Amino acid sequence: MPHTLPACPQCGLENTYADGDNFICPDCACEWAAVATTSEDEGATSDGVVRDANGNPLADGDAVILIKDLKVKGSSTVLKKGTKVKSIRLPQDAGDHEVDCKMDAGSFMLKACFLKKA
């Protein structure tokens, strides 16, 4: 029986399995949504809804968790994976960064593809 699940987008191996609404790669622990969005790097879909890395819709006031270490441009600051951010805002004219939030390190504009709903 041929393997019908997609290869891992992170490591490229085909040893993936489905778990609910997500696919999981046991080799590199990558997890991604089984339902593809319009673009992997775009958090805002064509219907205007901002979605997290797992495809869950985000709203003003939601709490989210970073799924990846993020280097802050122009600074030596790194936002650590697993950091919980409370009370996000979704500004209308954000450009390619859909989420506005405040953390201990300051105020930041983040892409939704690096967040998951808490």
CATH code of the domain containing 82: 2.30.30.40
Which residue, 64, 56, 75, 46, is CA-closest to 103? 64
Are residues 52 and 12 part of one domain? Answer: no
Tell me, what's the pLDDT at 108? Answer: 92
State how many domains the chain has. 2
Are residues 111 and 65 part of one domain? Answer: yes
20-34, 40-54, 55-69 — which one is most confidently predicted on average?
55-69
Q: For 2-16, how does the pLDDT look when each residue is reduced to its tens digit (9 = 90+)? A: 557 777 777 777 888
- The gap between the terminal CA atoms of the chain, to the nearest Å, is 38
If you average pLDDT over residues 97-104, what whole number do you get? 90
If you average pLDDT over residues 12-21, what whole number do you get? 80
The residue range of the domain holding 90 is: 41-118
Which residue, 54, 65, 73, is CA-closest to 99? 65
Are residues 49 and 25 part of one domain? Answer: no
